[in-house]
DNA sequence: GTGTCAATGATTTTCGAAAATCCGTGCCAT
DNA sequence: ATGGCACGGATTTTCGAAAATCATTGACAC
Protein backbone atom coordinates (compact mmCIF):
# COMPACT_ATOMS: atom_id res chain seq x y z
CA UNK A 1 0.00 0.00 0.00
CA UNK A 2 2.63 2.48 1.07
CA UNK A 3 5.54 2.45 -1.34
CA UNK A 4 8.90 1.57 0.11
CA UNK A 5 9.94 5.20 -0.02
CA UNK A 6 7.10 7.65 -0.53
CA UNK A 7 9.38 10.16 -2.20
CA UNK A 8 9.17 13.70 -0.95
CA UNK A 9 8.96 12.42 2.60
CA UNK A 10 11.79 11.96 5.00
CA UNK A 11 12.72 8.92 7.05
CA UNK A 12 12.66 10.93 10.24
CA UNK A 13 9.06 11.82 9.54
CA UNK A 14 8.15 8.19 9.20
CA UNK A 15 9.95 7.39 12.44
CA UNK A 16 7.98 10.16 14.12
CA UNK A 17 4.65 8.77 13.01
CA UNK A 18 5.58 5.22 13.81
CA UNK A 19 6.82 5.92 17.33
CA UNK A 20 3.95 8.27 18.07
CA UNK A 21 1.57 5.59 16.91
CA UNK A 22 3.23 3.04 19.16
CA UNK A 23 2.87 5.39 22.11
CA UNK A 24 -0.72 6.31 21.44
CA UNK A 25 -1.98 2.79 20.97
CA UNK A 26 -0.16 1.50 24.01
CA UNK A 27 2.53 -0.63 22.42
CA UNK A 28 4.93 1.61 24.27
CA UNK A 29 3.60 2.15 27.76
CA UNK A 30 3.93 5.23 29.95
CA UNK A 31 7.21 5.29 31.80
CA UNK A 32 8.83 2.74 29.52
CA UNK A 33 12.42 3.44 28.73
CA UNK A 34 13.08 3.56 24.99
CA UNK A 35 16.35 2.01 23.92
CA UNK A 36 17.64 3.00 20.55
CA UNK A 37 18.30 -0.60 19.65
CA UNK A 38 14.61 -1.44 20.06
CA UNK A 39 13.49 1.66 18.21
CA UNK A 40 15.82 0.94 15.33
CA UNK A 41 14.31 -2.51 15.08
CA UNK A 42 10.81 -1.03 15.11
CA UNK A 43 11.55 1.59 12.46
CA UNK A 44 14.08 -0.33 10.36
CA UNK A 45 16.52 2.54 10.08
CA UNK A 46 19.63 3.97 11.65
CA UNK A 47 19.86 5.99 14.84
CA UNK A 48 19.92 9.50 13.35
CA UNK A 49 16.34 9.79 12.10
CA UNK A 50 15.04 8.04 15.21
CA UNK A 51 16.78 10.61 17.32
CA UNK A 52 15.24 13.44 15.35
CA UNK A 53 11.79 11.92 15.80
CA UNK A 54 12.32 11.65 19.54
CA UNK A 55 13.41 15.27 19.69
CA UNK A 56 10.13 16.34 18.12
CA UNK A 57 8.09 14.06 20.35
CA UNK A 58 9.85 15.46 23.38
CA UNK A 59 9.09 19.02 22.33
CA UNK A 60 5.44 18.01 22.13
CA UNK A 61 5.47 16.30 25.50
CA UNK A 62 4.92 12.72 24.43
CA UNK A 63 8.36 11.66 25.58
CA UNK A 64 10.80 12.97 28.14
CA UNK A 65 14.57 13.24 27.91
CA UNK A 66 16.98 12.70 30.77
CA UNK A 67 20.31 14.03 29.62
CA UNK A 68 22.70 11.22 28.83
CA UNK A 69 20.13 8.73 30.09
CA UNK A 70 18.03 8.58 26.99
CA UNK A 71 14.36 8.97 26.25
CA UNK A 72 11.33 7.43 27.88
CA UNK A 73 7.60 7.57 27.33
CA UNK A 74 6.05 10.41 29.30
CA UNK A 75 4.35 9.03 32.40
CA UNK A 76 0.64 9.34 33.10
CA UNK A 77 -0.70 10.90 36.26
CA UNK A 78 -3.98 12.03 37.72
CA UNK A 79 -2.73 15.57 38.07
CA UNK A 80 -1.81 15.71 34.40
CA UNK A 81 -5.18 14.27 33.45
CA UNK A 82 -6.88 17.04 35.40
CA UNK A 83 -4.57 19.60 33.84
CA UNK A 84 -5.28 18.36 30.34
CA UNK A 85 -9.00 18.43 31.00
CA UNK A 86 -8.91 21.98 32.28
CA UNK A 87 -6.91 23.13 29.28
CA UNK A 88 -9.18 21.32 26.86
CA UNK A 89 -12.17 23.05 28.37
CA UNK A 90 -10.47 26.40 27.97
CA UNK A 91 -8.99 25.99 24.50
CA UNK A 92 -11.41 23.70 22.73
CA UNK A 93 -14.28 25.54 24.31
CA UNK A 94 -13.08 28.82 22.88
CA UNK A 95 -12.31 27.20 19.54
CA UNK A 96 -15.80 25.76 19.39
CA UNK A 97 -17.34 29.10 20.25
CA UNK A 98 -15.36 30.75 17.47
CA UNK A 99 -16.23 28.03 15.01
CA UNK A 100 -19.93 28.45 15.69
CA UNK A 101 -19.52 32.18 15.30
CA UNK A 102 -17.51 32.04 12.10
CA UNK A 103 -18.31 28.72 10.48
CA UNK A 104 -19.94 28.69 7.06
CA UNK A 105 -21.84 26.10 5.12
CA UNK A 106 -18.68 24.20 4.27
CA UNK A 107 -17.98 23.82 7.98
CA UNK A 108 -21.48 22.53 8.63
CA UNK A 109 -21.05 20.02 5.84
CA UNK A 110 -17.73 18.80 7.22
CA UNK A 111 -19.29 18.44 10.65
CA UNK A 112 -22.28 16.47 9.45
CA UNK A 113 -20.07 14.23 7.35
CA UNK A 114 -17.68 13.53 10.21
CA UNK A 115 -20.52 12.70 12.55
CA UNK A 116 -22.10 10.41 10.03
CA UNK A 117 -18.91 8.43 9.73
CA UNK A 118 -18.47 8.29 13.48
CA UNK A 119 -22.02 7.12 14.13
CA UNK A 120 -21.68 4.27 11.65
CA UNK A 121 -18.93 2.57 13.68
CA UNK A 122 -19.99 0.59 16.70
CA UNK A 123 -19.03 2.02 20.07
CA UNK A 124 -15.56 1.07 21.30
CA UNK A 125 -15.49 -2.05 23.43
CA UNK A 126 -12.78 -4.29 24.71
CA UNK A 127 -13.89 -7.29 22.71
CA UNK A 128 -13.86 -5.59 19.33
CA UNK A 129 -11.04 -6.20 16.88
CA UNK A 130 -8.36 -3.57 17.25
CA UNK A 131 -8.66 -2.72 13.58
CA UNK A 132 -12.22 -1.48 14.06
CA UNK A 133 -11.33 0.23 17.31
CA UNK A 134 -8.54 2.10 15.59
CA UNK A 135 -11.04 3.12 12.98
CA UNK A 136 -13.33 4.49 15.66
CA UNK A 137 -10.46 6.41 17.24
CA UNK A 138 -9.62 7.99 13.95
CA UNK A 139 -13.19 9.00 13.22
CA UNK A 140 -13.65 10.23 16.75
CA UNK A 141 -10.65 12.50 16.35
CA UNK A 142 -11.91 13.66 12.97
CA UNK A 143 -15.26 14.61 14.48
CA UNK A 144 -13.74 16.70 17.23
CA UNK A 145 -11.39 18.26 14.72
CA UNK A 146 -14.32 19.15 12.49
CA UNK A 147 -16.12 20.77 15.42
CA UNK A 148 -13.38 23.35 15.89
CA UNK A 149 -12.05 23.51 12.35
CA UNK A 150 -13.67 26.86 11.58
CA UNK A 151 -12.23 28.74 14.54
CA UNK A 152 -9.94 30.69 12.25
CA UNK A 153 -6.91 30.45 14.54
CA UNK A 154 -4.19 28.06 13.42
CA UNK A 155 -2.41 28.40 16.73
CA UNK A 156 -5.47 27.59 18.76
CA UNK A 157 -6.25 24.70 16.47
CA UNK A 158 -2.76 23.36 16.94
CA UNK A 159 -3.02 23.63 20.71
CA UNK A 160 -6.32 21.78 20.67
CA UNK A 161 -5.01 18.97 18.51
CA UNK A 162 -2.03 18.54 20.75
CA UNK A 163 -4.25 18.36 23.81
CA UNK A 164 -6.53 15.90 22.09
CA UNK A 165 -3.58 13.67 21.36
CA UNK A 166 -2.45 13.71 24.95
CA UNK A 167 -5.94 12.99 26.20
CA UNK A 168 -6.02 10.05 23.82
CA UNK A 169 -3.28 8.35 25.80
CA UNK A 170 -5.46 8.37 28.89
CA UNK A 171 -8.54 7.36 26.95
CA UNK A 172 -6.74 4.37 25.57
CA UNK A 173 -5.60 3.14 28.95
CA UNK A 174 -9.17 2.80 30.11
CA UNK A 175 -10.55 1.35 26.92
CA UNK A 176 -10.67 -2.07 28.52
CA UNK A 177 -13.14 -0.60 30.99
CA UNK A 178 -16.14 -0.97 28.73
CA UNK A 179 -19.65 0.29 29.26
CA UNK A 180 -18.55 3.41 31.03
CA UNK A 181 -18.77 5.59 27.95
CA UNK A 182 -22.26 4.38 27.12
CA UNK A 183 -23.55 7.84 26.24
CA UNK A 184 -20.70 9.10 24.12
CA UNK A 185 -22.78 8.68 20.97
CA UNK A 186 -25.60 10.73 22.39
CA UNK A 187 -23.20 13.42 23.54
CA UNK A 188 -21.62 13.66 20.13
CA UNK A 189 -24.99 14.02 18.46
CA UNK A 190 -25.98 16.68 20.97
CA UNK A 191 -22.76 18.57 20.28
CA UNK A 192 -23.41 18.54 16.57
CA UNK A 193 -27.01 19.63 16.96
CA UNK A 194 -26.10 22.54 19.22
CA UNK A 195 -23.33 23.61 16.87
CA UNK A 196 -25.59 23.51 13.83
CA UNK A 197 -28.22 25.46 15.77
CA UNK A 198 -25.51 28.10 16.39
CA UNK A 199 -26.05 27.83 20.12
CA UNK A 200 -22.55 28.81 21.20
CA UNK A 201 -23.10 28.88 24.94
CA UNK A 202 -25.00 25.62 24.93
CA UNK A 203 -22.44 23.86 22.78
CA UNK A 204 -19.54 24.99 24.94
CA UNK A 205 -21.39 23.83 28.05
CA UNK A 206 -22.03 20.47 26.43
CA UNK A 207 -18.37 20.19 25.43
CA UNK A 208 -17.28 20.93 28.98
CA UNK A 209 -19.64 18.30 30.30
CA UNK A 210 -18.40 15.84 27.69
CA UNK A 211 -14.78 16.29 28.71
CA UNK A 212 -15.49 16.38 32.42
CA UNK A 213 -17.49 13.20 32.06
CA UNK A 214 -14.69 11.32 30.35
CA UNK A 215 -12.20 12.70 32.85
CA UNK A 216 -14.34 11.59 35.79
CA UNK A 217 -14.70 8.13 34.33
CA UNK A 218 -10.96 7.88 33.83
CA UNK A 219 -10.27 9.17 37.31
CA UNK A 220 -12.56 6.57 38.81
CA UNK A 221 -10.77 3.94 36.79
CA UNK A 222 -7.39 5.10 38.03
CA UNK A 223 -8.56 5.23 41.63
CA UNK A 224 -9.88 1.73 41.41
CA UNK A 225 -6.61 0.60 39.96
CA UNK A 226 -4.44 2.12 42.67
CA UNK A 227 -6.65 0.74 45.45
CA UNK B 1 31.89 32.11 32.46
CA UNK B 2 30.32 29.03 30.94
CA UNK B 3 32.68 26.09 31.19
CA UNK B 4 33.68 24.49 27.93
CA UNK B 5 31.42 21.54 28.62
CA UNK B 6 28.91 22.09 31.41
CA UNK B 7 28.76 18.41 32.20
CA UNK B 8 25.30 16.91 32.55
CA UNK B 9 24.17 18.92 29.58
CA UNK B 10 24.09 17.81 26.00
CA UNK B 11 25.53 19.49 22.95
CA UNK B 12 22.17 19.41 21.22
CA UNK B 13 20.73 21.40 24.08
CA UNK B 14 23.36 24.06 23.67
CA UNK B 15 22.73 24.19 19.94
CA UNK B 16 19.02 24.63 20.67
CA UNK B 17 19.61 27.58 22.95
CA UNK B 18 22.14 29.16 20.65
CA UNK B 19 20.02 28.96 17.52
CA UNK B 20 16.89 30.02 19.34
CA UNK B 21 18.79 32.98 20.69
CA UNK B 22 19.99 33.91 17.23
CA UNK B 23 16.42 33.78 15.96
CA UNK B 24 14.93 35.75 18.80
CA UNK B 25 17.44 38.55 18.72
CA UNK B 26 17.28 38.89 14.97
CA UNK B 27 20.68 37.57 13.96
CA UNK B 28 18.72 35.07 11.92
CA UNK B 29 15.90 36.90 10.23
CA UNK B 30 12.42 35.59 9.37
CA UNK B 31 12.41 33.68 6.12
CA UNK B 32 16.16 33.17 6.11
CA UNK B 33 17.27 29.81 4.92
CA UNK B 34 19.51 28.04 7.40
CA UNK B 35 22.39 26.13 5.86
CA UNK B 36 23.96 23.49 8.00
CA UNK B 37 27.41 24.75 7.15
CA UNK B 38 26.60 28.15 8.67
CA UNK B 39 24.93 26.63 11.70
CA UNK B 40 27.88 24.35 12.33
CA UNK B 41 30.14 27.38 12.26
CA UNK B 42 27.87 29.20 14.69
CA UNK B 43 27.63 26.31 17.12
CA UNK B 44 31.09 24.79 16.67
CA UNK B 45 29.89 21.25 16.43
CA UNK B 46 28.92 18.57 13.96
CA UNK B 47 25.68 18.25 12.06
CA UNK B 48 23.90 15.74 14.27
CA UNK B 49 23.21 17.88 17.36
CA UNK B 50 22.34 20.84 15.16
CA UNK B 51 19.77 18.75 13.41
CA UNK B 52 18.23 17.67 16.70
CA UNK B 53 18.00 21.29 17.81
CA UNK B 54 16.25 22.24 14.58
CA UNK B 55 13.79 19.40 15.03
CA UNK B 56 12.81 20.78 18.42
CA UNK B 57 12.59 24.33 17.14
CA UNK B 58 10.39 23.16 14.29
CA UNK B 59 8.04 21.37 16.68
CA UNK B 60 7.74 24.66 18.58
CA UNK B 61 7.11 26.67 15.44
CA UNK B 62 10.25 28.79 15.39
CA UNK B 63 11.51 27.17 12.24
CA UNK B 64 9.87 25.40 9.33
CA UNK B 65 11.05 22.33 7.47
CA UNK B 66 10.65 21.76 3.77
CA UNK B 67 11.36 18.11 3.15
CA UNK B 68 14.71 17.65 1.50
CA UNK B 69 15.06 21.41 1.18
CA UNK B 70 16.23 22.09 4.68
CA UNK B 71 15.14 24.39 7.46
CA UNK B 72 14.37 28.08 7.44
CA UNK B 73 13.35 30.64 10.02
CA UNK B 74 9.57 30.82 10.35
CA UNK B 75 8.27 33.90 8.54
CA UNK B 76 6.41 36.72 10.24
CA UNK B 77 3.00 37.88 9.16
CA UNK B 78 0.26 40.18 10.33
CA UNK B 79 -2.23 37.35 10.49
CA UNK B 80 0.07 35.36 12.75
CA UNK B 81 0.61 38.41 14.94
CA UNK B 82 -3.13 38.77 15.36
CA UNK B 83 -3.44 35.07 16.04
CA UNK B 84 -0.72 35.16 18.67
CA UNK B 85 -2.34 38.14 20.33
CA UNK B 86 -5.73 36.48 20.49
CA UNK B 87 -4.24 33.33 21.96
CA UNK B 88 -2.21 35.27 24.49
CA UNK B 89 -5.33 37.04 25.66
CA UNK B 90 -7.09 33.73 26.08
CA UNK B 91 -4.32 31.70 27.68
CA UNK B 92 -2.33 34.24 29.66
CA UNK B 93 -5.56 35.88 30.73
CA UNK B 94 -6.82 32.65 32.20
CA UNK B 95 -3.42 31.90 33.71
CA UNK B 96 -3.36 35.31 35.36
CA UNK B 97 -6.86 34.84 36.71
CA UNK B 98 -5.88 31.49 38.19
CA UNK B 99 -2.68 32.89 39.64
CA UNK B 100 -4.57 35.67 41.40
CA UNK B 101 -7.03 33.11 42.70
CA UNK B 102 -4.45 30.63 43.87
CA UNK B 103 -1.25 32.58 44.45
CA UNK B 104 0.20 32.68 47.93
CA UNK B 105 2.70 34.95 49.64
CA UNK B 106 5.60 33.37 47.82
CA UNK B 107 3.98 34.26 44.53
CA UNK B 108 3.47 37.86 45.62
CA UNK B 109 7.11 38.03 46.64
CA UNK B 110 8.29 36.68 43.29
CA UNK B 111 6.10 39.19 41.50
CA UNK B 112 7.33 42.17 43.47
CA UNK B 113 10.93 41.10 43.04
CA UNK B 114 10.56 40.63 39.29
CA UNK B 115 8.93 44.01 38.89
CA UNK B 116 11.63 45.67 40.93
CA UNK B 117 14.32 44.29 38.66
CA UNK B 118 12.38 45.27 35.56
CA UNK B 119 11.76 48.82 36.72
CA UNK B 120 15.45 49.38 37.45
CA UNK B 121 16.43 48.92 33.81
CA UNK B 122 15.84 51.87 31.47
CA UNK B 123 13.14 51.40 28.86
CA UNK B 124 14.26 49.75 25.64
CA UNK B 125 15.40 52.20 22.97
CA UNK B 126 17.20 51.85 19.73
CA UNK B 127 20.30 53.71 20.88
CA UNK B 128 20.92 51.59 23.93
CA UNK B 129 23.67 49.00 23.95
CA UNK B 130 22.35 45.63 23.02
CA UNK B 131 23.71 44.14 26.23
CA UNK B 132 21.38 46.28 28.31
CA UNK B 133 18.52 45.71 25.93
CA UNK B 134 18.99 41.97 26.24
CA UNK B 135 18.93 42.42 29.97
CA UNK B 136 15.62 44.26 29.73
CA UNK B 137 14.17 41.54 27.53
CA UNK B 138 15.14 38.90 30.02
CA UNK B 139 13.67 40.79 32.97
CA UNK B 140 10.56 41.61 30.99
CA UNK B 141 10.05 37.92 30.30
CA UNK B 142 10.71 37.10 33.95
CA UNK B 143 8.06 39.59 35.06
CA UNK B 144 5.38 38.17 32.81
CA UNK B 145 6.39 34.68 33.85
CA UNK B 146 6.07 35.65 37.49
CA UNK B 147 2.59 37.04 36.88
CA UNK B 148 1.24 33.67 35.81
CA UNK B 149 3.58 31.40 37.74
CA UNK B 150 0.97 30.48 40.36
CA UNK B 151 -1.70 29.32 37.93
CA UNK B 152 -1.12 25.71 38.97
CA UNK B 153 -1.31 24.35 35.44
CA UNK B 154 2.00 23.25 33.93
CA UNK B 155 0.41 22.81 30.53
CA UNK B 156 -1.13 26.27 30.50
CA UNK B 157 2.13 27.75 31.70
CA UNK B 158 3.98 26.02 28.91
CA UNK B 159 1.53 27.30 26.33
CA UNK B 160 1.91 30.83 27.64
CA UNK B 161 5.68 30.74 27.60
CA UNK B 162 5.69 29.47 24.05
CA UNK B 163 3.34 32.24 22.96
CA UNK B 164 5.46 34.80 24.77
CA UNK B 165 8.51 33.60 22.92
CA UNK B 166 6.78 33.92 19.57
CA UNK B 167 5.50 37.37 20.39
CA UNK B 168 9.05 38.31 21.27
CA UNK B 169 10.08 37.87 17.66
CA UNK B 170 7.59 40.50 16.60
CA UNK B 171 8.48 42.76 19.50
CA UNK B 172 12.09 42.65 18.52
CA UNK B 173 11.47 43.60 14.92
CA UNK B 174 9.90 46.87 15.97
CA UNK B 175 12.37 47.71 18.69
CA UNK B 176 13.99 50.26 16.42
CA UNK B 177 10.69 52.10 16.47
CA UNK B 178 11.30 53.82 19.77
CA UNK B 179 8.91 55.93 21.80
CA UNK B 180 5.92 53.88 20.85
CA UNK B 181 5.96 51.80 23.99
CA UNK B 182 6.23 54.85 26.23
CA UNK B 183 3.76 53.55 28.79
CA UNK B 184 4.95 49.98 29.15
CA UNK B 185 6.41 50.77 32.55
CA UNK B 186 3.15 52.20 33.80
CA UNK B 187 1.22 49.24 32.45
CA UNK B 188 3.51 46.78 34.17
CA UNK B 189 3.13 48.57 37.46
CA UNK B 190 -0.63 48.62 37.05
CA UNK B 191 -0.64 44.90 36.32
CA UNK B 192 1.32 44.19 39.47
CA UNK B 193 -0.88 46.41 41.60
CA UNK B 194 -4.08 44.83 40.34
CA UNK B 195 -2.66 41.36 40.86
CA UNK B 196 -1.55 42.11 44.42
CA UNK B 197 -4.97 43.63 45.11
CA UNK B 198 -6.46 40.30 43.96
CA UNK B 199 -8.56 42.08 41.38
CA UNK B 200 -8.85 39.25 38.90
CA UNK B 201 -11.22 40.84 36.43
CA UNK B 202 -9.35 44.14 36.45
CA UNK B 203 -5.97 42.49 36.02
CA UNK B 204 -7.16 40.37 33.10
CA UNK B 205 -8.65 43.45 31.46
CA UNK B 206 -5.38 45.31 31.93
CA UNK B 207 -3.46 42.39 30.48
CA UNK B 208 -5.70 42.28 27.44
CA UNK B 209 -5.22 46.01 26.94
CA UNK B 210 -1.47 45.60 27.37
CA UNK B 211 -1.26 42.96 24.68
CA UNK B 212 -3.69 44.64 22.34
CA UNK B 213 -1.71 47.86 22.70
CA UNK B 214 1.59 46.25 21.76
CA UNK B 215 -0.10 44.41 18.92
CA UNK B 216 -1.63 47.62 17.57
CA UNK B 217 1.71 49.38 17.73
CA UNK B 218 3.37 46.53 15.88
CA UNK B 219 0.62 46.41 13.30
CA UNK B 220 0.97 50.13 12.63
CA UNK B 221 4.70 49.61 12.28
CA UNK B 222 4.21 46.81 9.79
CA UNK B 223 1.66 48.80 7.80
CA UNK B 224 4.00 51.73 7.58
CA UNK B 225 6.73 49.44 6.42
CA UNK B 226 4.74 47.85 3.64
CA UNK B 227 3.50 51.23 2.38
C1' DG C 1 12.09 31.13 -29.91
C1' DT C 2 10.29 27.80 -26.68
C1' DG C 3 9.94 23.80 -24.10
C1' DT C 4 11.91 19.38 -22.50
C1' DC C 5 15.45 16.67 -20.65
C1' DA C 6 19.85 15.21 -18.91
C1' DA C 7 24.14 16.32 -16.49
C1' DT C 8 26.21 19.03 -12.75
C1' DG C 9 26.77 21.15 -8.29
C1' DA C 10 25.26 22.25 -3.83
C1' DT C 11 22.82 20.69 0.14
C1' DT C 12 20.28 17.81 2.90
C1' DT C 13 19.68 13.35 4.89
C1' DT C 14 21.31 9.02 6.51
C1' DC C 15 24.63 5.63 7.92
C1' DG C 16 27.99 3.03 10.83
C1' DA C 17 31.50 3.51 13.99
C1' DA C 18 34.07 6.17 17.59
C1' DA C 19 33.87 8.93 21.83
C1' DA C 20 31.59 10.21 25.99
C1' DT C 21 28.64 9.29 29.73
C1' DC C 22 26.17 6.81 33.20
C1' DC C 23 24.80 2.83 36.19
C1' DG C 24 25.87 -1.16 38.75
C1' DT C 25 29.26 -4.21 40.90
C1' DG C 26 32.90 -5.43 43.76
C1' DC C 27 36.85 -4.16 46.47
C1' DC C 28 39.11 -1.67 50.05
C1' DA C 29 39.66 1.35 54.02
C1' DT C 30 37.63 3.02 58.19
C1' DA D 1 29.12 -3.15 58.94
C1' DT D 2 29.41 0.98 56.22
C1' DG D 3 30.91 4.43 53.10
C1' DG D 4 33.79 5.67 49.33
C1' DC D 5 36.06 4.60 44.91
C1' DA D 6 37.62 2.63 40.85
C1' DC D 7 36.47 -0.61 37.07
C1' DG D 8 33.43 -2.89 33.40
C1' DG D 9 29.43 -3.10 30.63
C1' DA D 10 25.68 -1.05 28.45
C1' DT D 11 23.79 2.97 26.28
C1' DT D 12 23.60 7.42 24.70
C1' DT D 13 25.68 11.03 22.09
C1' DT D 14 28.59 12.76 18.55
C1' DC D 15 31.42 12.61 14.55
C1' DG D 16 32.86 12.47 9.59
C1' DA D 17 31.87 10.54 5.36
C1' DA D 18 28.67 8.24 2.02
C1' DA D 19 24.11 8.21 -0.20
C1' DA D 20 20.07 10.58 -1.66
C1' DT D 21 17.66 14.52 -3.15
C1' DC D 22 16.75 18.94 -5.17
C1' DA D 23 17.75 23.24 -7.93
C1' DT D 24 20.32 25.03 -11.93
C1' DT D 25 22.47 25.16 -16.11
C1' DG D 26 23.08 24.11 -20.76
C1' DA D 27 22.17 21.56 -24.86
C1' DC D 28 19.02 19.80 -28.08
C1' DA D 29 14.74 18.98 -30.59
C1' DC D 30 10.51 20.98 -32.29
| pLDDT of B165 over the 90 cut | yes
Residue A208 CA neighbour count, 13 Å, CB half: 13
pLDDT band at A10 (very low <50, low <70, confident <90, very high): very high
Chain B residues within 8 A of A51 when measuring between CB atoms? 48, 52
State which residue of chain A sits closest to B166, comparing Cα positions: A155
A63-98 residue pLDDT tens: 999 999 999 999 999 999 999 999 999 999 999 999
pLDDT at residue A102 above 60?
A: yes
Classify B213 as helix, strand or coil.
helix
How many of the other CB atoms lie within 10 Å of CB of A167? Answer: 21
Mean pLDDT of B144-168: 97
pLDDT of A2 over the 70 cut: no
B159 against B222, higher pLDDT: B159
Q: What percent of chain B has pLDDT over 70?
A: 86
Q: Between these two residues, A150 and B136, which has the higher pLDDT value?
A: A150
Residues with CB under 7 A from strand D: A 5, 7-8, 33-37, 47-48, 51, 65, 67-71; B 10-12, 45-49, 52, 67-69
- Decide if B10 touches A, using CB distance below 8 A: yes
How much is the average pLDDT of A106-130?
81
* Nearest CB partner across the interface for B153, out of A60, A87, A159: A87
3-state secondary structure of B183: coil
- Tell me which residue of A2, B158, A49, A1 sits closest to A19, measured CA to CA: A49
Query: Who has greater pLDDT, A56 or A224?
Result: A56
Domains of chain A: 11-73 (1.10.10.10), 78-226 (1.20.120.530)
Nearest CA in chain B to A83: B153
Question: What is the spatial distance, in angstroms and rounded to an integer, between the CA atom of A67 and the C1' atom of C28?
Answer: 32
Plot region of B205 (φ>0 → left; ψ -120 to 50 → alpha; else → beta): alpha
Residue whose CA lies closest to nucleotide D13 C1': A68
**Reported confidence tier of residue A208, pLDDT bands at 50, 70, 90:** very high
Among B3-12, B62-71, B158-167, B176-185, the least confident range: B176-185
pLDDT at A125 over 60: no
Q: Is B55 helix (H, G, I), strand (E, B) or coil?
A: helix
Distance in Å from D23's C1' to A128's CA comes to 51
The pLDDT confidence band at residue A194, using thresholds 50, 70 and 90, is very high
Chain A touched by B66 (CB under 8 Å): no
Residue among B48, B154, B155 whose CB faces A48 most closely: B48
Q: Which of B55, B84, B162, B165 to mutate to probe the A interface, most A CBs <10 Å?
A: B55
Q: How far is A59 from chain B (nearest CA, A)?
A: 6
B95-115 pLDDT, tens digit each: 999 999 999 999 999 999 999
What is the pLDDT at residue B96? Answer: 98
What's the 3-state SS for chain A?
CCCCCCCCCCHHHHHHHHHHHHHHCCCCCCCCEECHHHHHHHHCCCHHHHHHHHHHHHHHCCEEEECCCEEEECCCCHHHHHHHHHHHHHHHHHHHHHHHHHCCHHHHHHHHHHHHHHHCCCCCCCCCCHHHHHHHHHHHHHHHHHHHCCCCCHHHHHHHHHHHHHHHHHHHHHHHCCCCCCCHHHHHHHHHHHHHCCCHHHHHHHHHHHHHHHHHHHHHHHHHHHC
Amino acid sequence: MAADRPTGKTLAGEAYERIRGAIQDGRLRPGDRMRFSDLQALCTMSVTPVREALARLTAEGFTVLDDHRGFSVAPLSLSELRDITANRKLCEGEALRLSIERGDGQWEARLVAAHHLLARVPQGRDDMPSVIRDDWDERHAAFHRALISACGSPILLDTCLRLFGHAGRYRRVSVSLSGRRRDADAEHRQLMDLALARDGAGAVAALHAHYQGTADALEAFFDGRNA
